[in-house]
Amino acid sequence: VELLANDDSARATVLRAEALEQLGRVNEAAAGLQPWRDRLQDETIEDAAELTAAAKALVMLARLQGRPAQDYHLAMQLFARARDDLDRFYWPAHLAEAHLLLEKDNRPDAARAAFAALRLNPRSSEAWHLLGSMAIDGFDFDRATTCIDRLRQINNDHLLADILEASSYLRQKAPSEARQVLEPLIARFPRQRQLLALLAATESLTYDEEATRAALQHYDSLSPNSPLAYFTVGEHLSAARQYQAAEQALRVAIDRSPNWPAPRVELGLLLMQGGEEEKARAELTHAARLDPFNTRANNQLQLVEELLGYEQIVTDHFIIKYRKGIDAVLARDMPQPLERIHREVTGVFEHRPGRRTRIEIMPDEKWFGVRITGMPEIWTIAACTGDVIALVPPRDGPRLRGTFDWVNVIRHEFVHTVTLDQTANRIPHWFTEACAVSQELTGRDYATCQLLATALQEDRLFELDQITWGFVRPKTPQDRPLAYAQSHWMLQYITATYGHRAVVQMLRMYRQGAGDIEALTAATDTSTDVFMTRFKQWAQQQTKRWGLGPQPHDPRIATLLATQTNDEATLLNDLLAEYPDHPDLLRLAAERAVSRADDQAAYRAVLRYAAARPVDPWSHKQLVELAARTGRPQEVIGSLEHLDRHDPTQGRWAYQLAQTYRSSGQLDQAAQAAERALQREPYNATYRELAAAIDLQRNDMDAAVRHVKAMAVLEPDRAIHQVRLAALYHKMSRHEDAHHAAENALQIDPEAPVQRYMQAP
């Protein structure tokens, strides 16, 4: 402020206003900016730098006065004139535009503007910092690292690079690593406000309330009444799912700067993640009123209005929300399986969440992305934000992911709900994923077994202090799936070696604030080095049982497997005589036996391979085909059960099981198999018809009604479904419902045979 006292240029005015704001002198900052709004109405500025600075003054003044949208279009026009008309090489105009677009949460256009600045000036530190910040907000830590590297190419000790690195660690819930970056920097720059705000966030993520309070007070001593530190703390606590503490911090930021939309948008998203739509709507409505151009606020407000209009089904422990229409089919299937999931999962982990869990069926992946992150760019099928589990429906169509086992997916996510609540959201990433995968019903598939076995043999398993980075900062495409699989594998080892009580003990220690290593070593009474050594020894035995352990090295085997010609039959027999249990040789022998016409020989060869490598689904698929060819359907049940358990993407194996069980009169097993088929493909009318028929044979009228009602939704133009509903209701003495179904049938087909159901009860 002192240095700029005698400079009345637009650039000096903006710098002075920024300094005054950080000193808590907001009214002075606004008063200094006001003349530039007036001058722009009367003067035409012909200098690109001065025009860009004047437009920035407009943007800042609008924010300070609580009218952040007032001069948005004018500022964008001024930036465009500066860069396109006055000086086509003036890259700061592109950069200023990028900052304004990011302020409106228009991230795609902000990124394009930043890259436009970099095309003119590849060494623009602010542009690289902006892109890195956007990458961190989007959990794209690889791209953030690229931006950090580019900054350090400009200056090996670049402060903005260090700020990005600390921010990246915090977003990844690694406060110890962030502290290692921040403390030397603060020693060099003790008054740098962004560093001090990040330090306060670091203290908050260690759950040290006293240290957090001290850091915030120190910030306030430099920048009185500034919202920045509280906003930074609230933002990172929200990302770490510390919702109550995050809300408190964000509300302080809002009180200090009620005209700044960012804290309100963040609070609205936080409340949405906690399932408090009404409170979220109030905050988001206020934010959108302040700034109608804020993309994330508008996305979230549109979503909350949509959610408040959803249908809902309430059970003892769940609230199921869905858009009226076809997704009612899935929602009506959910109550009984959800309550079973609640009973089993809470029993395993010895903890019950204090509130009902909300299951929200989003119509497509765009809405799902907005629901989880506030933006539509996410691409997955389900996510847990604590008390809320959102998912896309398991069906084909635009912006959908196709079929999947929704029961298994929600079971996985509900484990997160339980363990997050159990540990006050302090559970390490690898351990919560390990717990969630451990409760999946599908079992470890063959590809995962191969991934683990290969990583073990090649000594590529993660060390304990690195496994979380496999989730949040994968270096190869295999790192993330390996992190999931290894986490579960280590949990299996802990349970097998130390008992399930060790798992529960670790969860309780996390709630008390114990670190990852501390909880593990206490529960297993070993050091991390000893733990990993013993785990890998145990894992070797596991891969051996899978048929994926180390095999004898013989170049003849490699040659045979590479050629696989019929001329090598003699060599194959010789090698099998020498290595009778070699899985690869047994697979080759089984393949050749299947290709010949001798079904009995093929059957024996496939069974032999299945015993040597039980995790490979190929043998079970062959046994299913052989059983069908030889007319022995009952012999195929075991293989169908295996295929059904390990293929969560389709219902055909369970559908075949249901048919097989039904044909042999095992109706209860048939009904269970039909339900499993519908767990993968709930919108499949053919599967529904079989399930309804089986339930009728079992005299389970309620279940049959549910399936026929689903068929009526899936195929609304077919009167037969309403006719069947009328008949079912009539048989159940629900005459009013029968009459209503009969009327529906006649609306579709006036000739529908429902007259007997039209009589008044």
**Is the per-residue pLDDT at 633 higher than 80?**
no
Q: Which one has a higher pLDDT value, 390 or 494? A: 494
Beta bridge pairs of residue 312: 321
pTM of the predicted model, to two decimals? 0.83
The pLDDT value recorded for residue 368 is 61
Phi, psi (5° rounding) for residue 242? -90, 70
User: Mean of the per-residue pLDDT values for the chain?
Assistant: 91
pLDDT in tens, 52-84: 999 999 999 988 887 777 788 899 999 999 999
Alpha-carbon distance 93 to 114, whole Å? 10
The one-letter amino acid at 635: E
Sorting pLDDT into bands at 50, 70 and 90, what band is 375? very low
Choice between 565 and 413, residue whose per-residue pLDDT is larger: 413
The letter for the amino acid at 687 is Y
Which pLDDT score, from 0 to 100, does residue 299 have? Answer: 84
Residue 700 is predicted with a pLDDT of 95
DSSP 682: T
Residue 566 predicted with pLDDT over 60:
no
In the predicted structure, residue 474 carries a pLDDT above the cut 80: no
| Lowest model confidence (mean pLDDT) among 239-253, 550-564, 690-704, 715-729 | 550-564
Q: Give me the mean pLDDT over the 284-294 stretch.
A: 88
Q: What is the DSSP string of 8-52?
A: -SHHHHHHHHHHHHHTT-HHHHHHHHHHHHHHHHH-----HHHHH
Spatial contact of 390 and 320, defined as CB atoms under 8 Å apart: no
Q: Which of 439, 419, 442, 443 is nearest to 431 (CA)?
A: 419
CB burial string 699-722: b at 16+ within 10 A, e below:
ebeebbbbbbbbbbbbeeebbbbb
The lowest-confidence range among 562-571, 725-734, 741-750 is 562-571
pLDDT at position 378: 44
Q: In this predicted model, what pLDDT tens digit does every residue of 166-176 receive, in sequence order?
A: 999 998 888 99
Name the token pair of 348. Answer: 């395993």
Q: Which long-range contacts (CB under 8 A, 24 or more apart) does 323-326 make?
A: 323/361, 323/363, 325/713, 326/683, 326/713, 326/714
Average of pLDDT values for 369-377? 52
Tokens of 53: 């600075």
Inform me whether the pLDDT recorded for 377 exceeds 70: no
pLDDT on residue 105: 85
